[in-house]
Amino acid sequence: MALSVQEIEQAKQSFPVLKHDNFLSNHLTLPVYAALYKKKTSNGVTLDSCIQTGVDTPGLQFGMVVGDEECYTLFKDIFYPIIKDYHGNFDPATESHADHVRESVGVVDVKPLDTKYVKSVRVRAGRSISGFPFPPSCTRAQRREVESIIVGTLKNLDQDLAGSYHSMESMEPSEINRLTQEHILFSNLSDFSFRNDGLARDWPDARGIMMNKEQDFFVWVNEGDHMRIISMQSGGDLKTCFETWKQGEKQLETAMLNAGYKFAWNKKLGFLCARASNIGTSMRCSVHVRLPNLSAHPQFEEILKKLGVAKRGNHGEYRSSTEPELFDISNIKKLGISEVEIVQQVHESVTKLIEMEQQLEEGKPLQF
């Protein structure tokens, strides 16, 4: 229904000053804001609570978080164009993630990557428990309830995947530091006071990690999402890494269903998480790879863009790199693509990056 001039004028009084360059600033117009700013999800989440981080924080790509699963439909006039911008032109207005994907996840058929260049591989995906607000919007009681539900389901993992759960409060600072340095544990989000996204509230209450004995399968609880399911190993065997992830995810989904809960998912957007970059498969498949020559080449950024992959430093998104020649290369697109396609795309991209690194090592001109 079209809004009256008076309603638009009223909304103008609350319209934010969009001073930072991000997807929110590109897409939030006064008419869109006016149509949405008075709405609330059944958990009480408002548009303003989702966008405040992009209004206040410089340097964000999206400029929005997601308070709960209903936000994706109630505020779709702002989320859909942003999702389209990020996920390789997948248009949620006309397409469905489920049409592209996920019947028993499938099998990846890739050879191990060359360990002269590749140090380690990792596959992770976020999962939310349907019905509970996501970490940017949950109450303390909800956060604690989510932790307790997840800890209950972890007991159902098979022997090689099962491990002990460590709440952040039960861990010594030195242990936290060691596990973070070893890429096993998440960073302390309260260190990043610039974020304004609500994720670090009450830190470290009701956050923790489950680690199996082999230290190749982990579940993060209440960091960026209710759960992050992670498989990680040294070397270049992406196939085994993915298989481990797949088994763990399946077992946890079954345990969740048996306990009377389900993962937040819909046909159109797949798995729903607290960031719109992280929906669909919600999978980030990353390879730590050494590229000393290629990374110094003026076309490095262009090559990554063409391959559809992103680079991070060796300590992830928010921490500075300690090995400047070691990169975390991962898929950008997570929606409208299957888990298997993601692993294959990252494998293919890293293989090409290694070939280019070798060309430069041998003093040949770069071909891509």
Ligand X SMILES: Nc1ncnc2c1ncn2[C@@H]1O[C@H](COP(=O)(O)OP(=O)(O)OP(=O)(O)O)[C@@H](O)[C@H]1O
Tokens of 258: 């048996």
Question: Residue 171 carries which side chain, given as an amino acid letter?
Answer: M
Query: Rounded to the nearest whole angstrom, what is the least distance from the CB of residue 267 to ligand X in the complex?
Result: 24
According to the annotation, is 143 in a ligand binding site?
A: no
Query: Rounded to the nearest whole angstrom, what is the least distance from the CB of residue 288 to ligand X in the complex?
Result: 4
> Sign (positive/negative) of CA torsion 321, 324, 328, 331?
positive
- Regarding 262 and contact with ligand X (CB under 6 A), the answer is no
Please identify which residue in 20, 100, 102, 183 interacts with ligand X, judged by CB under 6 A. 183
Query: Rounded to the nearest whole angstrom, what is the least distance from the CB of residue 174 to ligand X in the complex?
Result: 17
- Regarding 201 and contact with ligand X (CB under 6 A), the answer is no
Instruction: Considering the complex, state which of residue 71 and residue 74 has its C-beta at the smaller distance from ligand X.
Output: 71
According to the annotation, is 124 in a ligand binding site?
A: yes
According to the annotation, is 178 in a ligand binding site?
A: no
Instruction: Considering the complex, state which of residue 121 and residue 337 has its C-beta at the smaller distance from ligand X.
Output: 121
Closest by CA position to 116, among listed 291, 314, 273: 291
Please identify which residue in 105, 232, 335, 354 interacts with ligand X, judged by CB under 6 A. 232
Query: Rounded to the nearest whole angstrom, what is the least distance from the CB of residue 193 to ligand X in the complex?
Result: 17
Considering only residues 325-354, where is the footprint of ligand X by CB under 6 A?
A: 328
Write b or e for each residue in 41-54: b if 16 or more Cβ atoms lie within 10 A of its Cβ, otherwise e. Answer: bebebbbebbbbbb
Write b or e for each residue in 64-91: b if 16 or more Cβ atoms lie within 10 A of its Cβ, otherwise e. Answer: bbbbbbbbbebbbbbbbbbbbebbeebe
Cα separation, 210 vs 199, in Å, equals 20
Cα separation, 201 vs 186, in Å, equals 15
Identify the bridge partners of residue 311 per DSSP, sorted by sequence position: 329
According to the annotation, is 241 in a ligand binding site?
A: no
According to the annotation, is 277 in a ligand binding site?
A: no
- Regarding 27 and contact with ligand X (CB under 6 A), the answer is no
Residue numbers at the binding site for ligand X (CB under 6 A): 120-122, 124, 183, 224, 232, 284, 286-288, 312, 314-317, 328
Binding-site residues, please? Answer: 120-124, 183, 228, 284-288, 312-317
